[in-house]
Structure 1
Amino acid sequence: MDRLTAASVFVSVAEHGSLTQAAEQLDMSVAMVSRYLAAIEKWLGARLLHRTTRRVSLTDAGQSALHSCRQLLGLADDIAQQAGAASQVARGTLRITSALSFAEAQLAPALVDFQARHPEVAVNLSATDRSVDLAAERIDLAVRITNALEPTLIARPLAVCRSVLCAAPGYLAAHPPIQHPDDLQQHRCLSHAFASGARFNFQRAGERIEVPVSASFSTNETAIMRSAVLAGGGIGVLPTYYVGEDLRQGRLQRLLPDCELDTLGIHALFLSRQYQPLALRLLLDFLVERFGGALPFWDRLPG
């Protein structure tokens, strides 16, 4: 673990008398502050802080270490100023995690384009839908689609995830037309395996509508859902970041366009803004520019 950062964390905790206040000042998660404190105590081989439920205070060893850490940080600042700055060439390996469908459809192409600009940056992309412990698994960046953000992580909004109700033209040609949400109860519907019951929820003209359906097919993976809908298996809810091209090419048709489905936020999550590698800072800016705005490029749909 970076000893200079650990020294900075220790000084901040000592000055504030609180891990929470230090985390806020450093723009870092409380969990990460605790990790740095444990690391510097292990490095120095001494307990530096007394901790109670309300406050932390310095031990005798902590009092001695505080002066030395302040000197160390001052020396580091002098070196940085004399050198002008660290190298302005982004390099190193970025460890990134994302849901499989978003990684496949949007993130992987974006990362390839980013590497074209910064060829000395290597990427290790892990696609998984489980919630990854960034600190424990040494992840630099997680891209998550959720409205329930973890308070211990720093979040930067990237885009809005919108979904559409859609079906293949072949399926629609062989079944009765769908003009009202209640019509869905007469159709084959596909659902997400983790959804709470087989139902579709809409907003229509400011009114909340919940339609129970008979789900003949369920899956926990967006790619499988898309394949089943494309094959004529029925009606499904799919994110526009994944099926935007299918809609543009007519392989899928959007249903009930006046009924809006719930939206989710797409966020870049990381542990701290302090001492970020240049490659990570540049990647965050790149992803915001690529995906950001009121309307992501994948939502520019016909009709």
Structure 2
Amino acid sequence: MTMDVFKGMQVFTKVVELKSFAKAADTLGMSRGMASRYVANIEENLGVRLLNRTTRQLSITEAGNTYYHKSMQILALVAETEEDAASDTAKPRGTLRISCSVAFGGTQLSKAIAAYLLRYPDVKIEVVLCERIVNLVEEGFDLALRVANDLSPGLIARRLTPVRFVVCAAPDYLLRHGHPREPADLADHECLIFSESDAIGEWRLRRDGSTTRVKVHGKLHGNNGNMLCDAAASGLGVIYQPTFLTYDHLRNGRLVRLLPEWETDTFWAYAVYPHRQFLLPKVRTFIDFMVDYFGPHPFWDAEL
């Protein structure tokens, strides 16, 4: 990378942030014409338009948005590298943007983040909880925490902790409807269905190397595991949910584990990040910390 390209990235990102060539030029101590030439030179080299310009409005293109987020990552890496070289230490610092599912992030992430920030006080963290799969580069995230059975090929990821599932229901429900003795019995029960599953309404249980697939039915479908757990604890039916959501209900007797002699699904919580090389200290230390914090036997499985 030549200094002209690097300077061009600085100019371009400042123009995008301030939405003005004039303001960016003033901030960087150069003429408006020079700022415009830097951006035009990048567009010419790439062969794409990064900004749409009119006399009254400046807007970023789709290609410009991608280039902006990648440039921000490069500029942040260079800034941290220079600071590390000056201080001779790789100290985590800066803002760490994380995407995570509502279920896992809302129940397990806050205490882990609090512990991490106590150890690394120079890091700031911005968390976005959502159920969709975000584009890390285009949306400017440093990493995402995802719970999955497996990940798409090509993703760079590290396993954090196992996520085990259980079948359970409230004692009141079981008094009214009885305990299922075999997986097939679940087909006759009121089951609460997670609507974001790859196989909606199909629960898998295994024993002695054989897998049983049960088609379950119920009046309540939802895309949030917390809501389904609360509904089950209220006596509405049977759920098949991860233990990081059910453990408190199980511990306090609001839910009872069913079919414990049968194995259920085990997924993994992953840290997914866009680049394998040049991992920033804030990203590397956060991933390492999460692996140690949760571990291969997370606290929510202690009583299983």
Aligned-residue offset at 1:277 = 2.2
1:168 is aligned to 170
TM-score normalized by structure 1? 0.71
2:105 is aligned to 103
Over 3 Å counting, the alpha-carbon distance change for 1:42 and 1:102 in structure 2 is farther
Q: 1:255 aligns with which of 247, 258, 278?
A: 258
1:299 is aligned to 301
Say whether the 8 Å CA contact 1:199–1:210 is kept in structure 2: yes
2:246 is aligned to 243
Q: 1:113 aligns with which of 112, 115, 119?
A: 115
Q: What pairs up with 1:1-303 in 2 under 5 angstroms?
A: 43=42, 46=45, 83=86, 85=88, 87-195=89-197, 196-293=199-296, 295-302=297-304
Over 3 Å counting, the alpha-carbon distance change for 1:282 and 1:233 in structure 2 is same
Residue 232 of structure 1 aligns to a residue whose secondary structure is coil
Aligned positions, number? 239
Aligned-residue offset at 1:301 = 1.6
Over 3 Å counting, the alpha-carbon distance change for 1:41 and 1:201 in structure 2 is farther
Say whether the 8 Å CA contact 1:41–1:47 is kept in structure 2: no
Over 3 Å counting, the alpha-carbon distance change for 1:81 and 1:254 in structure 2 is closer
Residue 185 of structure 1 aligns to a residue whose secondary structure is helix
Deviates more, 1:223-232 or 1:271-280: 271-280
Residue 292 of structure 2 aligns to a residue whose secondary structure is helix
Residue 215 of structure 1 aligns to a residue whose secondary structure is coil
Deviations 1:210-264 (A, max 9, x none): 2222222111111111111111100011101111122122221100011112221
Say whether the 8 Å CA contact 1:247–1:301 is kept in structure 2: no
Deviations 1:79-130 (A, max 9, x none): 8997463x44322110000100100111121111111111221111000110
Aligned-residue offset at 1:42 = 5.8
Aligned-residue offset at 1:199 = 2.8
1:30 is aligned to none
Give distance in 2, aligned partners of 1:137 and 1:171. Answer: 44
Consecutive unaligned residues of structure 1, counting only runs of 5 or more, are: 8-39, 49-75
Residue 158 of structure 1 aligns to a residue whose secondary structure is strand
1:20 is aligned to none
Over 3 Å counting, the alpha-carbon distance change for 1:204 and 1:41 in structure 2 is farther
> What is the letter of the counterpart of residue 259 of structure 2?
L
Residue 260 of structure 1 aligns to a residue whose secondary structure is coil
Q: CA RMSD in A?
A: 2.9
Give distance in 2, aligned partners of 1:92 and 1:120. Answer: 7
Give distance in 1, aligned partners of 2:286 and 2:209. Answer: 38
Q: Give the percent of matched residue pairs that are identical in Structure 1 and Structure 2.
A: 34
Say whether the 8 Å CA contact 2:155–2:272 is kept in structure 1: yes
Aligned-residue offset at 1:155 = 0.5
Deviations 1:144-173 (A, max 9, x none): 111332334310110111110001111112
Consecutive unaligned residues of structure 2, counting only runs of 5 or more, are: 7-38, 48-78
Deviates more, 1:101-110 or 1:193-202: 193-202
> What is the letter of the counterpart of residue 46 of structure 1?
N
Over 3 Å counting, the alpha-carbon distance change for 1:189 and 1:277 in structure 2 is same
Over 3 Å counting, the alpha-carbon distance change for 1:3 and 1:221 in structure 2 is farther
Give distance in 2, aligned partners of 1:187 and 1:81. Answer: 60
Give distance in 2, aligned partners of 1:235 and 1:82. Answer: 57
